[in-house]
Structure formats: C-alpha cells, structure tokens
Amino acid sequence: MQFLLQVTDAFDLSWGLVLAPEIPFPDGMFKPFEGVVEIVAPDGARRLAEASFSLTHFKPGGFKLLVALPKESKASVPVGSMIYAGDEVHSRVGPSWA
C-alpha cells in the first residue's frame, strides 16, 4: 500500500464518512470508482476499509477528490490517521495525486 492522504478533518454524512483532501482535478478527467484503503490510526492500529472515490465541485476551489468511507465514522477515523491505498487506486486517481 502507498500513502494516499492524512486525515485533517472529516464529515459524517448519510452516505458515510467523507474525506476531502486539497487535491485539485481537471473537470472531465475522472470516473467515480470503489476500492479498498488501509487506515492507520495515530495509535498505530491498522484496518482495511471500503472506499468510494468521486469528484465534486467546490466554490471556491474547483473540482476536488472526495473519498467516502461508508462504514466508518469520525470516531473510527480520528484526525491524524493516515490513509493508504494499493496501486489500483493510485493509478485511478491519476497524475494529479503525485
């Protein structure tokens, strides 16, 4: 697994915990998909989680990646947690992530 993002804040919505990293994407260059990520909590605890990746538009800010963890909550993914993903996820989020 490769580093994907560090949790600095998260939002509990009806469709799960949502992470919105400050990663801009060009419009039309991304197709939503699902994958698996590894969550490493600040205390070192590790676990796998289902994730869905989509693109949304923020004003201001433009298009940004949203990472939804439908079975997680703010309590289960504390600030400071590190999110890792395999090569398949990294290849789908494209060169904007690097």
Could you read off the pLDDT of 21-71 as tens digits, one per residue? 776 676 666 788 999 999 999 999 999 999 999 888 777 767 788 899 999
What's the number of CA atoms in the CB half-sphere (13 Å) around residue 21?
Answer: 18
For residue 77, the 8-state DSSP code is S
Q: Which of 19, 34, 15, 13 is nearest to 77 (CA)?
A: 19
How far are the Cα atoms of 18, 70, 77, 79 from residue 73, in angstroms, in the given order?
A: 9, 8, 6, 11
Q: Where does 1-98 have alpha helices with state H? A: 87-93
Is 81 inside a domain boundary? yes
Is 6 inside a domain boundary? yes
Is 98 inside a domain boundary? no
Number of domains in the chain: 1
Is 51 inside a domain boundary? yes
Is 62 inside a domain boundary? yes
Is residue 50 a contact partner of residue 36, using CB atoms and an 8 Å limit? yes
Range of the domain at 64: 2-93
Task: Look up the CATH number of the domain holding residue 17.
Answer: 2.40.30
In sequence order, the 6+-apart residues with CB closer than 8 A to the CB of 54 are 32, 65, 66, 68
**Is 0.85 topped by the overall pTM?**
no
